[in-house]
A and B are shown apart, each in its own frame.
Chain A
Amino acid sequence: MFAYLLRRFALAGLMLFGLICLTFVIANVAPSDPAVLAAGPDAGKAQIEQARREYGLDKPLPVQFLRYVGDLARGDFGRSIATGRPVGSDLARYFPATLELCIVAMTIGLVVGISLGMLSALFKDQWLDHLTRIFAVSGIALPPFWFGLLLQLGFAVWLGWLPTSGRIGVSTDPGDPITGMLLVDALLRGDGALFWQGLSYIVLPALVLSLPCLASILRVNRSEMVEALRADYITSARAHGVSRWRLVTVHALKNAMIPTLAIIGLRWGWMMSSTVLVETVFDWPGIGLYAVSSAIAGDFKPVMGVTLIVGLNFMLVNLVVDLLYGVLDPRLRDA
């Protein structure tokens, strides 16, 4: 188990290096000239050249790369050229919002996806199964921006039950961030009103973000449950008198969860990157919105920072998934 962990960590390190190379290359093949942006709209040739020297953009690419890696090692993500603010502190402000959104969306996806998957397997080829199949297919097929607009129209404009967009009401003071995640902070402070308000703002974007993830968890879990329920060990457990509840929720589900876990890990990574669309529609102040506005301005440091954070997050989650396999499957623990 220890050797397995070590191997996983070493692999993660290599992947991180690859990721850093990739973000650097992508930023440098982008067609915009950051020096022009930095120097401002009315700058002359000399000012542009000065800006170029100031940001070290006149150095050869390998030197720039080494400086980039060196800065990252010190936790320095560089400065946004457009605002002049350090990207690191921007990320610290925007990332918790995205993380919070993703956690809520993933919770919805897990709870609803796994339970509906289980039920569909139990009622295979009956009306419930057909219903969840239609639901899952549309969940994967619906474009999130369109579905988001639809929900805004329905719940915010027509019914008026929930706010249209944003993270918190403009007149509400969320207080100084503790974790940066509004709901967690509200709970830590014991502020129930703030918590409920935060919840009302997060419901719609989280729902939109969770839908494709929920749908694929549902489908994978369903087919794995169908498989598991047909397995020999289920027949013998039935013959030995194990109750139906234990049979489904423990004996079969545990086996079905191993492939489902792989999808959950992938979907988490996918979710982090697809927040871009959802955050834009719901005006959610997370890294997706930050990345989009920076990219439109041609400001490449924030885009690199966001890419790195999203990639790092993906790697971490897959590491956790690998460890969870070991928790679920005793054969891996002994291997």
Chain B
Amino acid sequence: MTLVEIRDYRLAFDTFDGTLHVLDGIDLALEAGQTLGIVGETGCGKSVLARSLLRLNESPPARVVSGAILFEGQDVLALPERAMRRLRGRRIAMVFQDPASYLNPLLSIGTQMEDAIRGQESAAGEAKRPRRAIRDHAAGLLASVGLAEPHRLLDSHPHQLSGGMRQRVLIAMALAGNPSVLVADEPTTALDVTVQAQVLALIAGLVKERGLALMLISHDLGVVAASCARVAVMYAGTVVEEAPTAALLANPRHPYAQGLIAAVPDIDNPAHKPRGIPGSIPNLLKPPTGCRFHPRCALATDICRSTKPALRELAPAHRVACHHATPEHPGP
């Protein structure tokens, strides 16, 4: 069953300097229980896309140009705020990048969790539960993400916790409404390497245990490869390739995806020198015409400069947006 379907979604940011064309025709789907990774460089629009699911992009400056984001068949972009609040936390939950800044420094963990639970319950029109029941609920959530002494933790403040603990608290909060989709926006970027592995294992465990659909945003191919069955590669606001993770890593078709994978250092083969992609990401105030990657692409021809390539299914479940990718000759 398709839980989330993003159709030709275009989003722009109106700024003083002009209009930033941040997302340009995104087509993606997330099935129930599926894990989808989204990779791309900083500024390619992956976080903005993730936030769009819960309509968290502040508007203005954000402006939906076209498209739809369907959750269980209803367009979240068209929902009134009241209905949107019923989705937040209850159906789609989100974990953020830097747990230090995404937790309120002045409020105790308990207050923040209580407010989230109460907010969800009142949005759903449920009866008010006594405070004790809500605190027990919150403590149970903290325990379920592997935090010891959950009741004591409810009275502490974010600055008293380590980075890893804070991220666990945010994950526990995201689970409060028993959602069916978890959107994780760079959940490990701000953490130490050892803690990264623990948090990823925790997310993978929860996904399995609760049958969550996961959308994991990362700039780290390794993180996505370890936790996602499918992966979509984004470049300058477009999805350039989407495939099962193993297929993409072994056989990338899009020149940008090939460049990304060639840029990863190989620990087993020190002779292999990582290669960078020449050029830099385009200015989204005036994005390149046609294929947004063409100014950096060695294979670019006239059609790349004039026409935007559509996502085409080259192999089963393997879609590529490149004029030069063909089924016979996988990638140029």
Chain A residues positioned under 8 Å from B157 (CB to CB): 330-331
Q: Is the CB of B118 within 8 A of A243?
A: yes
Of all chain A residues, the one with the shortest Cβ separation from B54 is A239
Which of chain B's residues has its CB closest to A333's CB? B157
Stretch of B25-33, B119-127, B297-305 at the chain-chain interface: B119-127
Q: Is the CB of B101 within 8 A of A239?
A: no
Given contacts A233-B104, A331-B159, contact A239 B89 (CB under 8 A): yes
Find the B residue at minimum CB distance from A238.
B56
- With A235-B96, A241-B123 as contacts: A334 and B159 at CB distance below 8 Å: yes
B residues in contact with A331, CB < 8 Å: 105, 157, 159
B88 pairs with A255, CB closer than 8 A: no
* Inter-chain contact B104/A255, CB cutoff 8 Å: yes
Chain B interface residues toward A at CB < 8 A = 51, 54, 56, 58, 85, 88-90, 93-94, 96, 98, 101-108, 111-112, 115-116, 118-120, 122-123, 157, 159-160, 170, 173-174, 176-177
Instruction: Compute how far the CA of A60 lies from the CA of B51 in the bound complex, rounded to whole angstroms.
Output: 76
- Decide if A231 is an interface residue (CB 8 Å cutoff): yes
Known: A255-B104, A255-B106. A239 touches B94 (CB 8 A): yes
Q: Is A240 an interface residue (CB 8 A)?
A: yes
In the bound complex, what is the Cα–Cα distance between A230 and B62 (angstroms)? 14
B90: chain A residues at CB < 8 Å are: 241
Shortest Cβ distance from residue B136 to the other chain A in the assembled complex, whole angstroms: 18
| B85 cross-chain contacts in A, Cβ below 8 A | 241, 243
**Contact pattern, A 106-149, Cβ under 8 Å of B = 1, otherwise 0:** 00000000000000000000000000000000000000000000
Closest Cβ of chain B to A161, distance in Å, is: 43
Stretch at the interface among A38-46, A192-200, A246-254, A301-309: A246-254
| Neighbouring A residues of B108 by C-beta, 8 Å | 330
Contact between A250 and B107, CB atoms less than 8 A apart: yes
A241 & B56 in contact (Cβ 8 Å cutoff): no
B54 / chain A contacts, CB cutoff of 8 Å: 238-239
Contacts of A242 in B (CB 8 A): 112, 115-116, 119
The closest CB in chain B to the CB of A251 belongs to B104
Contact B159 A240 (CB under 8 A): no
- The answer to whether A328 has its CB under 8 Å from any CB of chain B is yes
Using Cβ atoms and an 8 Å threshold, which residues of chain B touch A236?
A: 94, 96, 102-103, 170, 173
Secondary structure dominating the interface of A: helix
Q: Contact at B102–A232, with CB atoms within 8 Å?
A: yes
Q: Is A191 an interface residue (CB 8 A)?
A: no
Residues of A in contact with B (beta carbons under 8 Å apart): 230-233, 235-243, 246, 250-251, 254-255, 328-331, 334
Roughly how many angstroms separate A25 CA and B17 CA in the complex, as a whole number?
58
CB <8 Å contact, A243 and B159: no
> A230: which B residues are within 8 A, CB to CB?
58
In the complex, 27 of the A-B residue pairs with CB atoms within 8 angstroms, ordered by the A residue number, are A233-B103, A233-B105, A235-B96, A235-B102, A236-B102, A236-B103, A239-B54, A239-B93, A239-B96, A240-B88, A240-B93, A240-B94, A240-B120, A241-B85, A241-B123, A241-B176, A242-B119, A243-B85, A243-B123, A246-B115, A254-B106, A255-B105, A255-B106, A328-B106, A329-B105, A330-B108, A331-B157
| Nearest CB of A to B131, in Å | 14
Residue of B93, B94, B107, B122 touching A251 (CB-CB under 8 A) = B107
Q: Does the CB pair B104–A237 fall under 8 Å?
A: yes
Interface-centre pick from A238, A242, A331 (highest chain B CB count, 10 A): A242
Chain B residues near A243 (CB-CB < 8 A) = 85, 115, 118-119, 122-123
Tell me the smallest distance from the CB of A262 to a CB of chain B, in Å.
16
A41–B119 alpha-carbon span in the complex (Å) = 77
Choice from A232, A240, A254 contacting B176 with Cβ under 8 Å: A240
When C-beta atoms are compared, the residue in chain A nearest to B53 turns out to be A239
- The smallest beta-carbon distance between A177 and chain B, in angstroms, is 41
Closest A residue to B96 by CB, please name it. A236
A231 cross-chain contacts in B, Cβ below 8 A: 101
User: What A residues does B112 contact at CB under 8 A?
Assistant: 237, 242
Q: Known contacts A232-B102, A233-B104; is A241 also within 8 Å of B159 by CB?
A: no
Contact A330/B56 with A237-B112, A239-B94 known, Cβ cut-off 8 Å: no
Chain B nearest CB, measured from A79 CB (Å): 51
Once the chains bind, are A241 and B96 in contact (CB under 8 Å)?
no
A241 to B177, CA, bound (A): 9
| Residues in A whose Cβ lies below 8 Å from that of B174 | 239-240
Q: Considering the chains assembled together, what is the distance between the CA atoms of A250 and B93 in angstroms? A: 22
| Known contacts A239-B54, A242-B116, A330-B159; A233 and B93 CB within 8 A of each other | no
Known pairs A237-B115, A241-B119, A330-B157. 10 more at Cβ < 8 A?
A: A233-B102, A235-B102, A236-B103, A236-B173, A239-B54, A240-B88, A243-B119, A243-B122, A246-B115, A254-B106
Closest to A125 in B: B60
In whole Å, how far is A245's beta carbon from the nearest beta carbon of chain B?
9
List of A residues within 8 angstroms of B122 by Cβ: 243
A32 to chain B, nearest CB (A): 53
Task: Write the nearest CB–CB distance from B312 to chain A, whole angstroms.
Answer: 34
> With A232-B98, A235-B96, A330-B106 in contact, is A240–B160 under 8 Å at CB?
no
Listed residue (B102, B106, B108) with the most chain A CB atoms within 10 angstroms of its CB: B106
- By a CB distance below 8 angstroms, the chain B residues around A233 are 101-105
- Closest A residue to B174 using CB positions: A240
